[in-house]
Amino acid sequence: MANEERTTTLRVEGMHCAACAQAVEQALRSVPGVSAAAVNPVTWIARVEVSTGVPEGRLASAVRQAGYGVAEDEDAGARGVLAARRRAAFAWLLAIPIVVWMVPEMLLGIVWPSALGYHAGMVVLALPVVFWAGGPTILAGVRALVRRTPTMDTLIALGALASLLTGFVAVAAEMGAAPAVHDYAGVAAMILAIHLTGRWIEARAKGRASQAIRRLLSLGAKTASILRDGLEVDVPIEDVAIGDVMIVRPGTKVPTDGVVTSGESHVDESIATGESLPVRRVAGEKVIGSTLNVEGLLRVEATAVGKDTFLAQMVRLVEEAQGSKVPIQALADRVTRVFVPVILVLALATFVLWLAAPAVFAGITAWASGFLPWVHGDLSLFSRALFAAVAVLVIACPCALGLATPTALSVGSGKGAENGILFRSGEAIQTLREVDTIVFDKTGTITEGRPNVTDAVPVGVDEFDLLRLAGSVEEGSEHPLGRAVVAACRERGVKLDAVEQFVAFPGKGVRGRVDGRDVFAGSLVWVRGEVGVEDSTVASSVEKLEADGKSAVVVADASGWLGVLGIADRPKAGAAAAIEELRALGLDVVLLTGDNERVARVVGQAVGIERVVAGVLPDGKVRVVEALQREGHVVAMVGDGINDAPALRAANVGIALGTGTDVAIETGDVTLVSGEPAAVARAVRLSRATFRKIRQNLFWAFFYNVVAIPLAVAGLLHPLVAEAAMALSSINVVTNAGRLRRIRLGPSPSETRGAIAPVPGSRV
């Protein structure tokens, strides 16, 4: 029997660029039993799909053998930022005197106090910067080169070491032991000072980009007041068990997910839904852990704890999205994979070409020396060749390419979580922005999904028995219409009987044995087919109810009709405004339902959907989605129930409303926690904005390298300018992605709500 797989995460320390992340991925994939590995250089997280028999230590060992560390706690990122700041500060402590000392020599040719003193002083000041402040970079770069997996650190290390070496040669030349060469030792220190500063700023920006998970985790309650043996006691949140009754006072957080057993209050659920207005919660309704009880005293029975809570699931989904890759990233990954080796070859070729064919660059040098103070035609040919080669090494920047996508994904998925939009993967973000058709299920998606029994038309029995038999057989149903029948029985004091041999027929109805007889409840067509009895009275009652905009549940037993129940649902507040928003975004909207044509048209008209496909069963919904795809449409399916799960999987993007079943949420590529149709438009806007940032980042990363590398080859870029530009390119990518946090996704559900008259529900 094959080993089952599990997903595990590692916090990797020491990564500084996309090439580092790819090296870690390669090391993890080489471990037997690992089927997939994805490393995010922004969040420092490696997500690994591995057989259950592979110990965690083997994965950590593979990472360490690749030259990187594995953190044991969640503070690795914070420690990394602090260490980067410390090293940058130390580097500048020595680099500033170097700059003051270098400027007179570079601009005026003044060497103080003497040539030997100048060169020796540069070496002395540069050594601690290169080998202490920049020590981890130098060591990582050399190790990566030895392992034949060169990274950005390799380029910086080679550039800095080559520059530092000229200082020793210059000192030796003053002693008559070596040929004269221009001293770039101070440049080595400056390269690392700028590099470490950029790394510190980049680390801070990456920390902000990935702070969504930390913010979510910090929202959890730390303690809970629960009833134990009739007494109220305070316990750590870890000690709360399913079934415990929690006391939630005004102004305190709901400790964990549960159901209100008594009390009434308004609860601020903004951390989960993005909805700014508190919602009313009464006995029997669910509450989400870590939300804030605004007023009133609640008693809540815990229904989920630990990793099963809603907050834990949010964290998991955000982590999965941040650790995934979008299809467009494949190009950047391919470029990054070969980028550093190509730059190493190009730097060597630049050095050789300058020495072998100086005439090629002589005209450029003469032209640029008139306005660029660092271009000197009187330098030795070796010095100019080294100058250009070092500039090529430090200007090339695979970091920006590698950070372009994960930073935007981290910020975008975090922004989504703050607004109740949970993306399962980066691919879902990219695909959603390409969608041109949105297909809505009706019941519980466009409508409230809480229909009420408005009419009872008994045939051969009284109204009480009609409700009793229908409610008894529907008690096992998950469908909103079935729950409406059961709720009507309870409201009217109708006692339900035990049901045997219960069977649900999705999209059709239910059957069960009550009081020794088989009872059927469902659509007219299905029940008539099961019972085999024609009755114009029942058919006319169904027609009249549907004409009034109501759904009809027909009830019968083996001997014939028992009656008809009329049930009405109404569109969710703000549904019409949500459809209008989607149209404004250029999207076509389709309403898909298992209800009959007449009822479906009434709902569609109420919310402004013209294209209505009615009378389809769950497998029919899949065929409708596939037919739209064959027409060339990119389709998103929005649903909330078990019946929607196949269509959610078939669509290009499945969007599950968080108020629906766990099956729908697990099936969906996107989960909208608020359960409001308006959230669909917000999700589309967020996906488009996130992808726009990805494209901007990739463009500027490519553009920067395409322009900067030829300038470096031509000897027109000072290594310091090159290193500063390289650092700024990475910082620009990260900060540009960070601007996603400021975008407005559209009105919240509370801003789109309005009164809408009741319209029908459906059996879908």
Helix (H, G, I), strand (E, B) or coil at 290: coil
Of the candidates 427, 433, 218, the residue with the CA atom closest to the CA atom of residue 320? 427
pLDDT digits (tens, 9 = 90+) for 323-337: 676 777 777 777 777
User: How much is the pLDDT for 756?
Assistant: 37
Query: Is pLDDT of 403 > 90?
Result: no
Q: Among all chains, which residue has been given the structure tokens 């309403």?
A: 591
How many CA atoms does the CB half-sphere of 136 hold within 13 Å? Answer: 17
Marked catalytic residue, from 257, 441, 644, 669:
441
User: How much is the pLDDT for 661?
Assistant: 43
Average pLDDT in the 579-606 region?
Answer: 89
Exposed/middle/buried for 349, CB within 10 Å: 0-12, 13-18, 19+?
Answer: middle
Cα 587 from chain centre = 23
> Phi and psi of 724, rounded to 5°?
-65, -40
For the chain, report the end-to-end CA distance as a whole number of angstroms.
40
User: How much is the pLDDT for 212?
Assistant: 60
Q: Please say if 497 is a catalytic residue.
A: no
pLDDT digits (tens, 9 = 90+) for 713-746: 998 988 878 777 877 887 888 888 888 888 888 7
Distance CA 243, CA 241 (A): 6
The one-character DSSP state at 617 is -
Distance CA 491, CA 485 (A): 10
Distance CA 550, CA 760 (A): 4
User: How much is the pLDDT for 755?
Assistant: 37
Indicate the residue type of 230.
G
User: How much is the pLDDT for 45?
Assistant: 82
Contact partners, residue 237, CB within 8 Å, separation at least 6 = 220, 221, 222, 223, 224, 255, 256
pLDDT digits (tens, 9 = 90+) for 681-717: 999 999 999 999 988 988 888 888 888 899 999 989 8
Q: How confident is the model at residue 760 (pLDDT cuts 50, 70, 90)?
A: very low
Which tokens is 728 given?
């700024």
Of the candidates 124, 122, 126, 96, the residue with the CA atom closest to the CA atom of residue 111? 122
Average pLDDT in the 634-646 region?
Answer: 82
Distance CA 394, CA 148 (A): 19
Distance CA 597, CA 584 (A): 27
Distance CA 483, CA 172 (A): 91
Query: Is pLDDT of 92 > 80?
Result: yes
Average pLDDT in the 476-494 region?
Answer: 88
User: How much is the pLDDT for 754?
Assistant: 43
User: How much is the pLDDT for 757?
Assistant: 37
pLDDT digits (tens, 9 = 90+) for 65-76: 888 888 876 666
Q: How confident is the model at residue 587 (pLDDT cuts 50, 70, 90)?
A: very high
Between 489 and 662, the more confident residue is 489
Q: What structural domains and CATH numbers belong to the chain?
A: 5-39+46-60 (3.30.70.100), 218-319 (2.70.150.10), 452-569 (3.40.1110.10)
User: How much is the pLDDT for 625?
Assistant: 94
User: How much is the pLDDT for 214?
Assistant: 65
Exposed/middle/buried for 752, CB within 10 Å: 0-12, 13-18, 19+?
Answer: buried
Query: Is pLDDT of 759 > 70?
Result: no
Distance CA 352, CA 375 (A): 19
Contact partners, residue 325, CB within 8 Å, separation at least 6 = 38, 333, 405, 426, 427
Report the residue count for the chain. 764
The lowest-confidence range among 109-118, 189-198, 375-384, 656-665 is 656-665
Is-contact 697 737, C-beta < 8 A? yes
Between 19 and 622, the more confident residue is 622
Of the candidates 198, 206, 203, the residue with the CA atom closest to the CA atom of residue 92? 198
Exposed/middle/buried for 165, CB within 10 Å: 0-12, 13-18, 19+?
Answer: middle
The lowest-confidence range among 100-114, 136-150, 469-483 is 100-114
pLDDT digits (tens, 9 = 90+) for 265-285: 999 887 777 676 788 899 988
Q: In terms of DSSP H, where are the helices of 129-282?
A: 135-146, 152-174, 185-209, 211-218, 270-273
Helix (H, G, I), strand (E, B) or coil at 147: coil
Helix (H, G, I), strand (E, B) or coil at 706: helix
User: How much is the pLDDT for 303?
Assistant: 93
Distance CA 491, CA 535 (A): 30
Which tokens is 605 given?
């008209």
Helix (H, G, I), strand (E, B) or coil at 108: helix
The lowest-confidence range among 19-28, 212-221, 367-376 is 212-221
Q: How confident is the model at residue 566 (pLDDT cuts 50, 70, 90)?
A: very high
Signed CA dihedral, 525, 531, 533, 539: sign only: negative
Q: How confident is the model at residue 761 (pLDDT cuts 50, 70, 90)?
A: very low
Q: Which residues pair with 259 in a beta bridge?
A: 286, 301
